[in-house]
Structure 1
Amino acid sequence: MAALGANLAIAASKFVAFVFSGSSSMLAEAVHSLADSGNQILLLLGGRKSKRAATPQHPFGYGRERFIYAFLVSIVLFSIGGMFALYEGYEKVKHPHDLDSWYWPVGVLIFAIIAEGFSFRTAIKEASELRGTFSWAQFIRRAKAPELPVVLLEDFGALIGLLLALGGVGLALLTGSGVWDGVGTLCIGVLLISIALVLAVETKSLLLGEAAGAEEVGRIERALVDGDTVTRIIHMRTLHLGPEELLVAAKIAVRHDDTAAEVAAAINAAEERIRSSVPIARVIYLEPDIYSAEEAAAGPDPAATPGGPGPANDHSDH
């Protein structure tokens, strides 16, 4: 919401500055801020749609709506923001003209830097609570909730873009050549496309389906095995159904002389331990089996998926 409010105000001021000055950098930045405003609306819409209840057609719910809308953000940023800036910059370099009323773009850019700084500061504060010990680059790569990384990259790109626009306008004023305004616009286009590509790669990975983080996987494994009723994990899979919803599927080893009632009680207890340790583990499927040391010693099957079920990975007697 902070990013949306800042971008709407900035977009309006940039369009006014463009009308009075004719600066292509200002027009590119205005379109950039307008695209960013649309992106924030998309993120809010995705968050709202993801809260819908599961249906027979979509039994695991709509948590991935947030990933889909974040991917749309990268497309909007690439097509509307980046490509438009490249086109406008090329036209300005090819057909340069002097800036009129230079104080308009300079004043608006300074205002925009302050407003974007406020939005960026808010995003950093929100993300710091979730980042933990990860670096910022690691946080952006590993975050399962797409909104904060998207806003962080958008705001960071906006601040750099504003500095590029300010540099282009400043050089155009100092040299008397409008070509520098076009060069600044081209740099803004390259910047926006680069950020859009990073967002596309990260959100594509989320759309394909990412496993839980190493820390969460460790907590699940420790919660599963109690050493008494569940003696070991034969194999396990995790999958994010949404940023705050995790699917856990595992084949677990139980004692060969346990009764059906004892196995059922062990599974129920294991599910409770997992949910207590990792609250976002909402969907859990546990399959009991008997562990076979002989098959485990046979080694992995090259044809099987990594750690998945197969002649050697599925170390069990049926």
Structure 2
Amino acid sequence: MKEFFVLLKEGNKPSLLAAIVNTVIAVLKGIAFFFTGNVAMFAEMMHSIGDAANQFFVFIGSALSKKAPTTRFPNGFGRVVNLVCLGAVLIVGILSYETIVEGWHHIQHPTKSGGLLITLGVLAIAVILETFVLYKAGKEVLHEAGVAEAKGLAPLTQGFVHLNRAKPATKLVFMEDLVATGGGILAFLAVLIAHFTGFLQAEGIASIMIGLMMFYVVGRVFLENARGAIGETDEQMLNHIAHLVVDHQDVKDIKKLSVVKEGEYLHVELVAEVDSSISFARADDIRDHLVDLILNQQGVQDVIISFDEDDGITHWKHVSNRPDSLPPV
């Protein structure tokens, strides 16, 4: 149990912050729905409950993924965060379905809800809090992508550009809170339209749209974490590491290079061709240098390097034009 609490300290902080904030928001929306019966508020309440549960699971999963390899599990626990995310999206999927069903019922049988000021007040507070979490998640995305500290609106605008370089947990938080912020604004507008125009179905339509946005997150997160659980090649980092290796004066060619992403970490395996005349001591120095160089790249957890003699044939043709520099850890 002590080890578990130690691991929790290493958990994804944006996930924990988002989980706490969404729990508070869910309680506020639940109280507002109880007093007003507003269906758009119901949709938002379900959305916040789903996000809070999801993000708590992701926080715990990201912490457990930091557990050191054991004799029984020598490859470590990096993929745990992917498995937890896959389980967590099932909760959001169920809540998404219930949100859409409730919205459809309201469209068929529209009813006027009360407590306009309570509804608008809670939704406004929720949007402000969700935007705060989204901003924090955006900053974490840029940090994990190695972008210099961003100021102003950069975490919100540049977060989209670098989202693919973020860790699975951070990416999920950013996407969920982006949809949550948009859903809150949509619900706010629907309540105003229903109240001032008498078009009561607007709240039901908003509920369905919020449910569909939640389903989009479910689909996106499921596909990305399914790839992570299987283990996929990180093409950008593979290209980057290939350039670092071929730039070494003693490396003649790359016979094999794989950069596999598991959870938040990268596993690198390299077979490099060198001149057959070099000594074992020199080969060992080359290996040590390459290991240090590659381990210093962002997200790389372990490196396996072996050598083969240069046969004069170019094997590695995968390297494209030099990419933008990726930052070290």
Structure-2-length-normalised TM-score: 0.80
Q: How many residues align?
A: 295
Say whether the 8 Å CA contact 1:25–1:169 is kept in structure 2: yes
SS of the residue corresponding to residue 55 of structure 1 reads: coil
Deviation at 1:103, TM superposition (A): 2.3
Report whether the alignment pairs 1:172 with 2:194: yes
Structure 2 stretches lacking a partner, 5+ long: 1-15, 149-156, 320-329
CA RMSD of aligned residues (A): 2.7
Which amino acid in the other structure matches residue 45 of structure 2? A
Say whether the 8 Å CA contact 2:141–2:163 is kept in structure 1: no
> Match for 2:249 among 217, 227, 231?
227
Give the structure 2 partner of residue 310 of structure 1: none
Deviation at 1:61, TM superposition (A): 0.4
SS of the residue corresponding to residue 232 of structure 2 reads: coil
Deviation at 1:296, TM superposition (A): 4.2
Mapped to 1, the partners of 2:174 and 2:272 lie a distance apart of 41
Q: Deviations over 1:23-43 (max 9, x none)?
A: 111111111111111011111
Report whether the alignment pairs 1:99 with 2:113: yes
SS of the residue corresponding to residue 153 of structure 1 reads: helix
Change (3 A) 1:139 1:70: farther
Say whether the 8 Å CA contact 1:221–1:233 is kept in structure 2: no
Report whether the alignment pairs 1:283 with 2:305: no
Change (3 A) 1:171 1:238: same
Deviation at 1:223, TM superposition (A): 4.4
Deviation at 1:279, TM superposition (A): 6.3
Mapped to 2, the partners of 1:172 and 1:115 lie a distance apart of 24
Give the structure 2 partner of residue 238 of structure 1: 259
Deviation at 1:259, TM superposition (A): 4.7
Identity level (%): 24
Mapped to 1, the partners of 2:206 and 2:298 lie a distance apart of 48
Change (3 A) 1:5 1:168: same
SS of the residue corresponding to residue 162 of structure 2 reads: helix
SS of the residue corresponding to residue 98 of structure 1 reads: coil
Give the structure 2 partner of residue 3 of structure 1: 18
Give the structure 2 partner of residue 137 of structure 1: 160
Q: After TM superposition, where is structure 1 displaced by more than 4 Å over at least 4 residues in a row?
A: 259-262
Mapped to 1, the partners of 2:133 and 2:109 lie a distance apart of 35
Change (3 A) 1:128 1:226: closer
Which has the greater radius of gyration?
1
SS of the residue corresponding to residue 266 of structure 2 reads: strand
> Match for 1:77 among 92, 95, 106?
92
Mapped to 2, the partners of 1:200 and 1:248 lie a distance apart of 25
Deviation at 1:170, TM superposition (A): 1.4
